[in-house]
Amino acid sequence: MSVEPEMKANKVRKHKYRERLIEYLNEYKNILLVRVDNVGSRQMQLVRIALRGEGVVLMGKNTVIRKVLRDESVKNPKLAQLIEYIVGNVGFVFTNGDLAKLRNTIQSNKVPAPARSGMIAPVDVFVPPGPTGLDPGQTSFFQALNIGTKISRGSIEILTQVHLVRAGDRVGSSSVALLSKLGIRPFFFGMVVETVYENGSLYDASILDLSADDLLGGFFNGIGRLAAISMEIGTPNQATVPHSIAKALKKMIALSLVTEYTFEESAIFKDPEALAAAMAAANGGDAAAGGDAGGDGAAAAAVVEEEEEEEEPAADMFGGDEEGDY
């Protein structure tokens, strides 16, 4: 007789959860999918408090979550892409605020935890050298683990740092016993943001680490590669236009220097003093820091370059020279 009321209570809880999840899906446009392995109820409560006013944490049974997402995807098809991520210990953090800030708040809330036998180590575990506080009678325990020790002032002292467990390896019972004896809690557990659902777009949470400068740098790097490839294969496009104009301007200036024709952009190259002043201004005053000698050297170099270029028209354009005729 007691089974029926329990089934009714369970059904009521599922119905309330379903209504709450649907309400959050309609109210919030952004969702952080978080993994909550090894996270206790006390730590979960601390995260909820830290997110108060900025986001809402919602956990639940994966079967119920997937059912709600399938039903709601009829009205909003973009929600269907979340279904495949509802695997294991996952939960939702709903928000309309700054995703990067919220992620940092979530992942900064970590607590130290002891190693447990059979668990996969998330990070490398090292045992530092120095006194352990253990009596000499436990020396055999360290010898079994191939850890070099000595007796100092009545206690065991570890000689060198020991790489006890590697990240990704399973933690053995002997390692757990040693860490417990030394009072070392090597792991820090907390909620981990793995995936972001932002206004219908789904992407990896690592994207939140990118700044505006990173995005612009990647974009301009791609534009540069496109321009280089396009110019190499002779295919003009919008990316090659600035480079084509620059190359054309250089050719026009070169022709101007060997002819009497002058235009605004080439005039400065025919005036060594103006060219030296422009170079000094472009260098942000570096010419002034280097003294007058630097400026005179730049002007002299410009004069020499001009004189060398002006010697070329003296040769006969038809292949003759000044020493004799054909």
Structure tokens at 215: 């995005």
198 and 84 in a single domain? The answer is yes
Please state the length of the chain.
326
DSSP H helical ranges for 28-58: 41-50
- What is the total count of domains within the chain? 4
Band (300; pLDDT cuts 50, 70, 90): very low
What pLDDT is attached to residue 37? 83
Read off the pLDDT of each residue in 127-154 and give the average, rounded to a whole number. Answer: 86
Domain holding 224, by residue range, is 210-239
* H/E run at residue 226: helix 212-233
Average pLDDT over residues 137-165: 86
Q: Which of 103-107, 180-184, 306-310 has the lowest mean pLDDT?
A: 306-310
User: Domain for residue 198, yes or no?
Assistant: yes
Residues 230 and 258 both lie in one domain: no
Reported in sequence order, the residue ranges of 76-118 that DSSP labels E, i.e. its strands, are 90-95, 111-113
Is 131 found in the same domain as 49?
A: no
At residue 160, the 3 state secondary structure works out as coil
Encode pLDDT of 158-214 as tens digits. Answer: 998 989 888 888 888 888 888 888 888 888 888 889 899 998 899 988 888 777 787
Residues 11 and 105 in one domain: yes
Give tens-digit pLDDT for 220-249. Answer: 888 888 888 988 888 888 888 888 888 888
Residues paired with 157 in a beta bridge:
131, 150
What is the spatial distance between Cα 235 and Cα 241, in angstroms, rounded to a whole number?
11
32 and 91 share one domain: yes
Model confidence pLDDT, tens digit, residues 25-79: 999 999 999 988 878 788 888 888 888 888 999 998 899 999 999 999 999 999 9
So what's the pLDDT on residue 4?
65
Rounded Cα–Cα distance for residues 238 and 203 (Å): 30
Beta bridge partners of 94: 31, 56
215 three-state secondary structure = helix
Rounded Cα distance, 124 and 113, in Å: 14
Q: Would you say residue 234 lies in a domain? A: yes
Asked if residue 88 is part of any domain, the answer here is yes
Q: How confident is the model at residue 285 (pLDDT cuts 50, 70, 90)?
A: low
N-to-C CA span, the chain: 126
CB neighbours of residue 181 within 10 Å:
15
> Are 234 and 279 in the same domain?
no
Could you tell me the pTM of the whole model?
0.57
Asked if residue 161 and residue 51 are part of one domain, the reply reads no
Percentage of residues of the chain with pLDDT beyond 70: 85
Residues 294 and 145 in one domain: no
